[in-house]
Structure 1
Amino acid sequence: MKTFLKLSAVVGILALAAFATTGCNTVEGMGEDLSAGGDAIADTSRDVRD
C-alpha cells in the first residue's frame, strides 16, 4: 500500500510538471508567467494594505 501511494504521488507530480511546462512552452515563458504571478500578488498585497 505504501508503495502504491508513493508511486501515485510521483506520477501526480510528474503530470503537474508536464502540464505546467506545456502551458508555458519555454523556460523563458515560465519565468514570465512566474513574474506576472508575483506582480499580481504584490499588487493585491498593496491593495489590502492601503
Structure 2
Amino acid sequence: MMRKIIVAAAMGGLLLGTAACNTVKGAGKDIQSAGQAGSDAINGK
C-alpha cells in the first residue's frame, strides 16, 4: 500500500516537472521573439 502511494507521488511529480519545463521553455521563446521584434523596430527592418 505504502509503495503504491510513493510510486504514484513520484509519477505525479515527474509529470508536473515535465509540464513546468515545457512552460518555461515556451515563455523563453516568447520573450526572445518579443525582443527580436523590438530590435527590428528600432533598426527599421
How many pairs are equivalent?
28
User: Which residues of structure 1 form unaligned runs of 5+?
Assistant: 30-50
Partner of 1:20: 36
Q: Return the structure number with greater relative CO, CA threshold 8 A, min gap 6.
A: 1
* Structure ID, larger Rg: 2
Query: Normalised by the size of structure 1, how large is the TM-score?
Result: 0.51
User: Which residues of structure 2 form unaligned runs of 5+?
Assistant: 1-16
* Whole-Å separation in 2 of the counterparts to 1:2 and 1:24: 33
* Whole-Å separation in 2 of the counterparts to 1:8 and 1:21: 20
Task: Give the alignment's Cα RMSD to 1 decimal.
Answer: 1.8
Q: Identity percentage over the alignment?
A: 7
